[in-house]
Amino acid sequence: MVSGRSLWVIAALCGAPLLVAAHPTSGPVPAPDDNAPLAGYSADAARVERQWEAQFQAIPEPQRMRQALQRLSARPHNVGTPYDRDNAEWILAQFKSYGLDAHIENFDVLYPTPRERVVELVAPTRFVAKLREPPVPGDPTSSILQDQLPPYNAYSIDGDVTAPLVYVNYGVPADYAKLARHGVSVKGAIVIARYGGSWRGIKPKVAAQHGAVGCLIYSDPKDDGYAVDEVFPKGPMRPRDGAQRGSVMEMEVYPGDPLTPGVGATKDAKRLALSEVKTLTKIPVLPISYGDAEPLLAAMGGPVAPAAWRGALPITYHLGAGPARVHLRVQSNWGMKTLYDVIARIPGAEQPDEWIVRGNHHDAWVEGAEDPLSGQIALLEEARAFGALLAKGWKPRRTIIYCAWDGEEPALLGSTEWAETHEQELKDHAVAYINTDGNSRGYLRAEGSHTLEAFLNGVARDITDPETQQSVWKRWQARQIATGSTGERTEVRTRANLRIGALGSGSDYSPFLQHVGVASANLGYGGEDESGIYHSVYDDFYWYTHFADTSFVYGRALAQTVGTAVMRLADAQLLPYDYVGLAETVSRYAAQLDTLAKHEADSIAELNREVRDGVFAETSDPRRPTYAPDTIALPPHLNFAPLQNGVDALTRAAAAYTQAVTAVSAGTGAALAKPEIASINGRLLHSEQALLSPAGLPNRPWYRHLIYAPGFYTGYGVKTIPGVREAIEQHEWAQADSQIVRVGAVLQTEAGLVAEAAKNLNAAAR
Amino acid sequence: MVSGRSLWVIAALCGAPLLVAAHPTSGPVPAPDDNAPLAGYSADAARVERQWEAQFQAIPEPQRMRQALQRLSARPHNVGTPYDRDNAEWILAQFKSYGLDAHIENFDVLYPTPRERVVELVAPTRFVAKLREPPVPGDPTSSILQDQLPPYNAYSIDGDVTAPLVYVNYGVPADYAKLARHGVSVKGAIVIARYGGSWRGIKPKVAAQHGAVGCLIYSDPKDDGYAVDEVFPKGPMRPRDGAQRGSVMEMEVYPGDPLTPGVGATKDAKRLALSEVKTLTKIPVLPISYGDAEPLLAAMGGPVAPAAWRGALPITYHLGAGPARVHLRVQSNWGMKTLYDVIARIPGAEQPDEWIVRGNHHDAWVEGAEDPLSGQIALLEEARAFGALLAKGWKPRRTIIYCAWDGEEPALLGSTEWAETHEQELKDHAVAYINTDGNSRGYLRAEGSHTLEAFLNGVARDITDPETQQSVWKRWQARQIATGSTGERTEVRTRANLRIGALGSGSDYSPFLQHVGVASANLGYGGEDESGIYHSVYDDFYWYTHFADTSFVYGRALAQTVGTAVMRLADAQLLPYDYVGLAETVSRYAAQLDTLAKHEADSIAELNREVRDGVFAETSDPRRPTYAPDTIALPPHLNFAPLQNGVDALTRAAAAYTQAVTAVSAGTGAALAKPEIASINGRLLHSEQALLSPAGLPNRPWYRHLIYAPGFYTGYGVKTIPGVREAIEQHEWAQADSQIVRVGAVLQTEAGLVAEAAKNLNAAAR
């Protein structure tokens, strides 16, 4: 669902640096040192592990990835198509050919496909939108029309509306505040928003909240068209008639099958009636190309759009409303489709009841070479390599489960239904979930649970970047130095670990992390190539082998990275969760919330003062009038003490735990082989769950994690400590106070679990 | 030369706030209070002055301004045309009809006009640029071809070159550093730069320094075309074939006639040979429209331009070089032309040897309705009003000189030659020079000598804004609150005076302020209307009366503002210079220099570290390689003590002076009528000259002011304490140290003059 470019995010780098040790910033990458210590391993175990890892890393082959990509992307394979099932069966056969125990798990889900789509300008002139992506000469798969989904937004309600057009920029709440300043209302209007600035599903939601009756979403060439680079097939960017498909279901409420919230969509599951579903859009929505958007935008009047709202079309962007009027008609086939999740299992030799789960989806909007297959081909090579290692005698300590998900694009369907079906097993057994999706060239991106931050840094230090022959960690660090502020650079140079980003949503980790409470990570390479084919017919083998990781060396790097992480988690004697990194990160989030609350209070006071003082009236140009916003009630002071106490408790427990790990790892680390360690692991694997609350977040109980969630008004973008943060952002002060108490409580629970583990470890060390 | 929009700059607002008194920020504008004190006036004198000012302000009439604008802009009237002279004679007749003593003063100057202009793409395809601005239906003057100068850049050398094209963004030094990072050289190339980011003359200068052989400057629609608003005649912005004429002489070395640097271009003046002139460009230059630029830019290859460099044409912007090759040919008629400066004089009744000089140019590139005539028509109404007041018995204490300059557009010719001719008289007599140029709707803009900051704030408090009926000061403040940062807002709300900007160049104040040392101000209204007709045939009566100050109420406001300032300066018993504002401003500049030096040192250290650490190498994409810059020698610490001592001395003297003014103004201020005050005034009027150094700035002795100058690499943009600031920016550390000593010395001289005046005032107060 998320392209390499879209999700390629350097972790935010502000706040108090944790100075641990300086790392040299130059010099050749050290040769893999078999004697280097590994967290959670005794010296002997580390040596053995590193030898197996070296063997593993030698196996993935770019040429095989290329062949797999060509096979999997040969035809359109969205949910419900024959080739979707065919791909699943091929993947199953691959797993089996590697010697793995594998099967397909089916679910039946609601999945609408387009029946009718009309966009036409009816005034002041007439223009009928094409709503089609033409084939490109030389690109063989772009001309396959059979099973090719035309551009549409899945889970838009049906509708037929004709109304004046209003341009709403990215269509996020702040954009509507700006429109109001210009005296423009979207009540009764069709809005046209550009892609970007939020997940697409937020745009119709916010538009409907403001009274709009329809929503068009177009790809402006400024964001992923000719302004960025040449367009396909000359370059990698979106051509004039290219459009971005995508789901607009309200996944920030819950993802997965809309008919079975919270439970697996198995044959016998109890299902909602379609009329009971709350996560469809409230107004009809369609995505359009900039070729189709230009005549609509050019026909608009009203105030000129603010500078930051202007795209790269050769026109003057106006806000509307009028004189442009648009007719929008959307009708879907509201049918059920079958999902094909492919699941392979490598049983653990010593702790088979502890699972490392690794997944990547296989369904695509059309051919999906980049999204998701560039990640899927790495997953396949990892699985093949594990098959080879098993044949050589490698016996993973824990169970490894490889998953090729179906139905990610419409709503994380395959992963969510699987995680909901197996929720209790995952709670009992899952150590970690590691996800990938689209992959490209450049720098490692790593996001995830902060208990895994140190672990993922360790893996990154051991993987060689194919372009520079430095470690990928080194290149990751160099990029942060090159792009960071002075304060950020200092931290990047001195902190033991590079910060990983927090997980919002947009790929299959969501159900694992945010619903079930499995420590999760999302990995990929990117940041060098531009891409404007996201969710279009042009995301295909031709495009990928001309403009992305054309030699598949980053595909291999991804397989090496993820496979190493999976092995290292699977074989560790003590699970390598790090709670100091978690505590420090949560402490930063808490400080951000304090700053945010003060900032909101100051902003409200300033706004009210400016309204009272007539600043808005005096800076209104009578020829282009602007209007003052309403004054806002001043907020109360919030009681952050419960949160701060929770942070302090976790910080103390984490320090004690780290000390205990040092004690148990002392000498050769022989104590790590003691049987007590197994029972400590059994408790530690519940530590991510301790950060969840059964009641979930306000108004969206499916999301139970109190530290990480997709934003209610950003969609994919993460909100950390979301209950508190969003309450402050929405000025719901009483809710902010009550959410602080809840977050403080889970942090205390987590601290208790960690402190107990420290005590047990200290006992084992003796 | 400078359009209302281009120069409309809100004064920078950072640094330590000077908290003097809070001003209420709302409530209706107070009725003019005849009893309010006026700096430099006794209570009685203030009352009389305010009554005359009220009479003055009632006189200017929008309808007369409209008629004058139509007359003056009826035909092309650039230097050397019959209508340029005709306008001068008409202005002379107007002055005389108002009862003023007026004459025309002539100078003979070198002024090249275009003979041949060719721009053609010769590879990979052929395209010949139009280089013509077509008439617009409905706009009668746009079709007058007789005497219409086609688009060209005056004082470009002749040349004929064919070379590959390189896109250099705005063509400022930082852009060339960026090009080097991308491995692109302009050696032997023709550069294409967009207008903006610097004065245009900087572009060919910097291009030539980097080895380019030709320079095209085009108007990108992002900056003043359809991206900003609809294009003319539907809207106010630059149409597809509109181009910006303008001078490219190296005026940052010296303005005025290139053949007579430093002396008036009178009949008998000693002249340089053309071959001796150093201020022509080093390479041929032409301005082109975006209609002509698009095929050239679209034909370019090489790396994609960085995001901030991309304009609004519907193409991918590349850096080049190649495959686009361009042929550029420029030939001028290098003839002499006669200037017609119109000078009117109102003799002072009591101190005739103290002059208030007020000017606005009358020449234009074509019809020039906005630039300069929208300012010239205000000047004419001021002169008419003074004629009327004189008839009613008003007798200004000092002499007032009204000047309608010729030849500003090519090189500030008329004002510079006049100021050079009358240099000694100006040094002996001039109290202040007040300039205007293009005018539009909105907010007062005020820039000038900081001795006049308090005075100009006082005038702004007494003028009513035609749109809000608040004082223009109030609206000026509201805008700064609306756009300022938190710190800036606090200062704006609490400081006694709003900060005025410092003067760089771009209009006729330069010779007065920066060569002769006359305290100067530049005033105008703007900030509401967009404009894309700067220096084109479309800057005409039709455009101005459709898209600018269409009802001429801001023309009236400008006449009221400037006329009030002129009267108030002319009639003051004690000249209203304020040295506390000057000292505080210079102190801020000194602090900025300290910060700048530290910033440069830190940046150099960081750059060197990143080069050594391989950060550049590790973040280079092998498919789009980037290159590390060279390391730079670390700078020494600078000795800022002489500057700080000078600032301290001036700060102490200014405080003493302000105290002395309070003493002499005590009670009814009767002491201000004492004869000693006249001799104090006679010394105070040299206080701006005290900030000059006869040797001038490094490498440009014509610029003698050590506090204000146009930037050597910005052109119009001011550099404050330029000798030091530019030395730091250019990493000429020894020069920075020696310039600090020179600036410290002039501040000590200034402090001595001010302290002496304080002593004399205190004596008069007794």
Which tens digit of pLDDT belongs to each residue from A556-591? Answer: 999 999 999 999 999 999 999 999 999 999 999 999
* Alpha helix positions (H), B694-732: 722-729
If asked whether residues A562 and A617 sit together in one domain, one would say no
Tell me which residue in A304, A478, A610 faces B618 most closely, judged by beta carbons. Answer: A478
- Give dist(CA B455, CA B77) in Å, integer: 36
User: Cβ separation of A470 and B312 shorter than 8 Å?
Assistant: no
Q: Residue B637: CB partners within 8 Å, gap ≥ 6?
A: none
Banded pLDDT at A31 (limits 50, 70, 90): low
Structure tokens at A235: 């370059």
Closest residue in A to B304 (Cα–Cα): A229
Partners of A230 on chain B (C-beta within 8 Å) are 304, 316
CA-CA distance, B212 to B26, in Å (whole number)?
A: 56
**Interface touch B226/A474, C-beta < 8 Å:** no
- CATH classification at residue B224: 3.50.30.30
Q: What is the pLDDT of residues A258-304, one digit of tens each?
A: 999 999 999 999 999 999 999 999 999 999 999 999 999 999 999 99
In sequence order, what E strands does A317-422 have? Answer: 320-346, 351-361, 398-405
Across residues B359-377, what is the average pLDDT?
A: 98
Q: Is the pLDDT of residue A26 over 60?
A: no
- Using a CB–CB cutoff of 8 Å, tell me whether B736 touches chain A: no
Name residues 85-114 of chain A within 8 A of B (Cβ). Answer: none
Q: Both A565 and A611 in a single domain?
A: no
Interface test with B, best of A618, A624, A626, A631 (most B CBs within 10 A): A618
For residues A163 and A238, state if they share a domain: yes
- pLDDT reading at A184 higher than 50: yes
Q: Which domain holds residue B267?
A: 117-335
End-to-end CA distance of chain B, in Å? 49
Residues of A in contact with B614 (CB under 8 A): 25-26, 478
> Does an H or E element contain A663, and which?
helix A641-664
Token pair for B278: 């150093």
The number of residues making up chain B comes to: 766
Contact status, residue A456 vs residue A565, Cβ threshold 8 Å: yes
A334 and B CB contact within 8 Å: no
pLDDT band at B718 (very low <50, low <70, confident <90, very high): very high
CATH number at residue B644: 1.20.930.40
Give residue B694's pLDDT.
96
Contact assessment for residue B701 and residue B252, using Cβ atoms and an 8 Å cutoff = no
Q: What angle do CA A184, A188, A194 make, to 5 degrees?
A: 65
A32 pLDDT tier (thresholds 50, 70, 90): low
In a domain, B296, yes or no: yes
Interface residue A276 vs chain B (CB under 8 A): no
Q: Is residue B54 part of a domain?
A: no
Query: What average pLDDT does the segment B609-625 reach?
Result: 97
Q: Say yes or no for a CB contact (<8 Å) between B314 and A310.
A: no
* B356 DSSP β-pair partners: B400, B432
- Choose among B26, B442, B619: nearest Cβ to A479: B619
| Residues of chain A positioned with their CB less than 8 A from the CB of B228 | 304, 307, 316
What average pLDDT does range A484-511 have in this prediction? Answer: 97
pLDDT given for residue B218 in this prediction: 98
Give the HSE-up count for residue B649: Cα atoms under 13 Å, Cβ half-sphere.
20
At A653, is the pLDDT very low, low, confident or very high (cuts 50, 70, 90)? very high
Instruction: Note whether B123 and B72 are same-domain residues.
Output: no
pTM (2 decimals)?
A: 0.94
B228 at interface of A, judged by CB pairs closer than 8 A: yes
> Predicted confidence band at B14 (pLDDT cuts at 50, 70, 90)?
very low
Among residues of chain A, what percentage have pLDDT more than 90?
Answer: 95
- Domain termination residue (choose one: B295, B318, B335): B335
Contact status, residue A632 vs residue A608, Cβ threshold 8 Å: yes
The yes-or-no verdict on residue B366 having pLDDT over 70 is yes
Split into its structural domains, chain B has a count of 3
Domain assignment present for B56: no
Residue B310 has its nearest CB partner, among A227, A313, A478, at: A227
One domain, residues B184 and B273: yes
CA nearest B317 in A: which residue? A227
Antiparallel, parallel or unpaired: β A708-710 and B101-123: unpaired
Looking at the fold, whether B675 and B761 belong to one and the same domain comes out as yes
pLDDT digits (tens, 9 = 90+) for B556-609: 999 999 999 999 999 999 999 999 999 999 999 999 999 999 999 999 999 999
pLDDT in tens, B193-232: 999 999 999 999 999 999 999 999 999 999 999 999 999 9
* pLDDT tens-digit readout, B410-420: 999 999 999 99
- pLDDT of B23 > 50? The answer is no
Nearest chain B residue to A477 by CA: give it: B615
Of A316, A335, A354, the position where a domain reaches its end is A335
Q: What confidence category does residue B12 fall into, taking pLDDT thresholds of 50, 70 and 90?
A: very low
Q: Are residues A612 and A728 in the same domain?
A: yes
Q: What is the mean pLDDT of residues B69-89?
A: 98
- B668 within some domain: yes
Last residue of a domain, one of B320, B335, B350: B335
List the single residue in A312, A317, A528 with the smallest CB-CB distance to B314: A312
Across the interface, of A230, A474, A615, the residue whose CB is closest to B316 is: A230
Is B49 part of a structural domain of the chain?
no
Answer whether residue B44 is part of any domain: no
User: Cβ B313–A313 below 8 Å, yes or no?
Assistant: no
CA nearest to B294 within chain A: A314
Contact B303, B169 (CB under 8 A): no
C-alpha–C-alpha distance, residues A758 and A660, integer Å: 5
Do residue B316 and residue A482 have CB atoms under 8 angstroms apart? no
Q: What's residue B35's pLDDT?
A: 76
> B34 pLDDT exceeds 80?
no
pLDDT on residue B715: 83
pLDDT tens readout for residues A654-704: 999 999 999 999 999 999 999 999 999 999 999 999 999 999 999 999 999
A604 — contact with chain B (CB < 8 Å)? Answer: no
Is B758 a member of any domain? yes
Q: Give the domain CATH number at B381.
A: 3.40.630.10
Say if residue A308 is in the same domain as residue A365: no
Position B124 pLDDT exceeds 70: yes
Q: Tell me: do B147 and B212 sit in the same domain.
A: yes
Which pairs with CB-CB distance under 8 Å and at least 24 residues apart come from A754-759? Answer: A754/A579, A754/A650, A754/A653, A754/A654, A754/A656, A754/A657, A754/A687, A755/A652, A755/A653, A755/A656, A755/A657, A756/A683, A757/A657, A757/A660, A757/A680, A757/A683, A757/A684, A757/A687, A758/A653, A758/A656, A758/A657, A758/A659, A758/A660, A759/A660
CB proximity A611 to B under 8 Å: no
Using the Cβ of B28 and the Cβ atoms of chain A, whether some distance falls under 8 Å is answered with no
B683 and B744 both lie in a single domain: yes
Average pLDDT over residues A104-112: 98
Residue ranges of the alpha helices (H) in B441-495? Answer: 453-461, 472-483, 486-494
Q: What is the mean pLDDT of chain B?
A: 95
Which candidate in B230, B550, B619, B623 is best for mutational testing of the A interface (most A CBs within 10 A)?
B619
| % of chain B surpassing 90 pLDDT | 95
pLDDT tens readout for residues B722-755:
999 999 999 999 999 999 999 999 999 999 999 9
Contact assignment for A528 to B621 by CB distance below 8 Å: yes
Is the domain of B648 the same as that of B679?
Answer: yes
A residues 298..317 contacting B (CB < 8 A): 304, 307, 310, 312-317
ipTM, 2 dp:
0.94
Residues B181, B269: one domain? yes
* Distance (Å) from the alpha carbon of A224 to chain B's nearest alpha carbon: 11
